[in-house]
Structure 1
Amino acid sequence: MQERFPRGRSAIVGTATFGCGAAPGYSAMELAHQASALALAQAGLKPSDVDGLFVVVMDDSLSGLTFAETLGIHPRFLDNNRTGGSSFQVHAMLAALALDAGLCDVALIAYGSNQRSSTGKLLQSSRPSPWESPYKPLRPISSYALAAARHMHQYGTTKEQLGAVAVAARQWAALNPEAFVREPLTMEDYLKARLVADPFGVRDCCLVTDGAAAVVLTRADRAKDLCRRPVYLLGGAQSTTHREIASMPDLTVTGLAEAGPRAYAQAGVSPKDIDVVELYDAFTINPILFLEDLGFCEKGEGGRFVEGGRIAPGGELAVNTNGGGLSCVHPGMYGLFTIVEAARQLAGSAGERQVPGAKLAIAQGNGGELSHEALVILGSEETR
């Protein structure tokens, strides 16, 4: 059966982040509240206008209920889905469907984490693996390092090519006042970084930060009343391939290889049409894998594709324009921040890092250990 996504019938009318970096004194829920209030105010809305709520907070398994109660709202539609960092792309797809079906009128997607202030370290998997735990892996880092090592063995990907991802992310972060780490990073700095899990050094790994993000959506027929430049949802798809990295069918192929073509078909676009690509770069291998699987280059060519500043400011393809999880913010789950940044680029509100003439963008999320991949394709008014 052919998928029927409600192309262009819902739109983002408000986005916000809050507490990116370090936000001591805030709970995860309070951070999410702050971002939500800012995003709603941007659209001229109040919390009481929200009747569709999509939320994940890592330290509360019933965070949808808690968030609704503490924000003082009674949503008609609530979703507390959690697939990891890809949860928010799933939320955006569900919100588009719910809005189109009339199940809600104003949808709020929210996330907050005080991971840096509360624990100061990257959270490991909460579920011990009977196959992997006896070997005491440093999860999730070891799992992604395994995928990187396989890609290097199979396709000749080099350490310097992984470094090109980290250096490009830092160059974008230097243009973003919200980025947590903005000082220059050279290839020499990258190569000298402390080894964490071979082949990864510390600069191959995402930041550990606090932070919150929120996105407000409504139906397209109302969007222009709330926002000068709405950003429309044109397509979205997801794919699950495994839970444990030991069960990943191919360490060099992610679920985007299957989900990407479906999203392109829904949106009626192809990789060559995309102006901005916001990827979940928890580790430097991620953008290399994802760019391949999304069709920007052939499988195995991702390392060579990112060389020479191609994905850095001024390069051929704008990737992770806020600095990504490697240099901007990574509060446990990063997927909602890719949606915020993609929407800002298409709304023309990204400041010094703005990509000229951006009309189409991908915002991608990654869950588990390359386990669940999801993406949404966003477009400006001209693309509807």
Structure 2
Amino acid sequence: MVMAGYEFMGMHPFENIVIHGTVRDKTGRKMSKSLGNIIDPLEIIEKYGADSLRFSLISMTAAGQDVFLSPTFYIKGRNFMNKLWNASRFIVNTAESFGEKVILNKQFEQLKFPEIWILTSLDEVIEKVNSSLNEFRLNEAINLLYDFFWHTFCDWYLEISKVHQEQEELYFKEKILPVLFHIHISLLKMLHPFIPFITEKLWRVFLDYCDLETESIMISSWPEKTGIQREKDVIEEMENIMEIITSIRNLKMRFGVPVSRQINCFFDKIPEGLSARIISKLAGVGKFSGFQSEKKEDLLIKNLREGRIGMSFAGIIDVQKELKKLYKERGKLQGYLEKIEKKINSPDFTLKAPEDVQEKEREKKQELEELLKNLERDIEFIEGKK
């Protein structure tokens, strides 16, 4: 078409050209009707929706690289649509409980550090997404939005906002609700080119709860950065809180202790105020103490970027008993790994097994190695307790 444009029109037919790869099945074969390895998109759309299909395809399609599809490739998109819908309903239901339409702030003032953190994080995402779209890196743009929405906004900020909702209702109503709507609306706008149907539907729902600029998301303006300064102390405070919460949650998960089960924790620098309330709510900490007040408890101590945290599971678990379980689990994993390594290195397997079977075994080996690595880290941590 480019050559024909120059030949017959005397000019290039397109300003920009995006080169895409070939669609292949999970074994690497080119999809075709004659091979019988095609996936009917209409069946996926009928069962999971067009947006799930669009999202999954775009997120896995890097510029110029082939796309390898399996019958389950759309699962990521389906899960994202469910998460987006549920987060939207949470925000709407929360706003509805106050009985007033939310006025979106153009200027954010007198905010606490979690709100400053999430808004400046959104500003960074807007800048990166704009850059990716300008360079036609569509998969990069949509994955940036996925990571921010799922791991930053939902996993962290939505949960942190509930601390205010329970303890500072006025601040939540006047400050946090506008922040929640601003972030979510900005995400809907940036997601709309990729998943137009669910974003339009949610936009129409939001019309009843906040002062949106247009009746349809299709003619709304593109998100702009708030311009809030990304202060170093705010970022460090959030990173410290997230590190503490993650450390406690991971250890509770390892021991099979519910996150909501409260434990006592000891710190070199004791969290205070809002930081302490967030940690208590999200990690299940009942009492904050300094190491100087430490009693002879069987503490598990982890070094943080700033100081240490000592976690007491006294009366909840027997650490030595749990350690024996980890030793037993390590032995089983080592046995499985030895068997699969022996199989992979066997000449008969290498020469006779189909390539897709060999690839599955190599993937199993990698998974076992990763599990063993994580288990060794847990054992080393518990053995090093003070």
- TM range, normalised to the smaller chain? under 0.3
The TM-score normalised by the length of structure 2 is 0.20
In proportion to residue count, which structure has more helix?
A: 2
The TM-score normalised by the length of structure 1 is 0.20
Report 1 or 2 for greater relative contact order, CA contacts < 8 Å, sequence distance ≥ 6. Answer: 1
Which protein shows a greater Rg? 2
In proportion to residue count, which structure has more strand?
A: 1
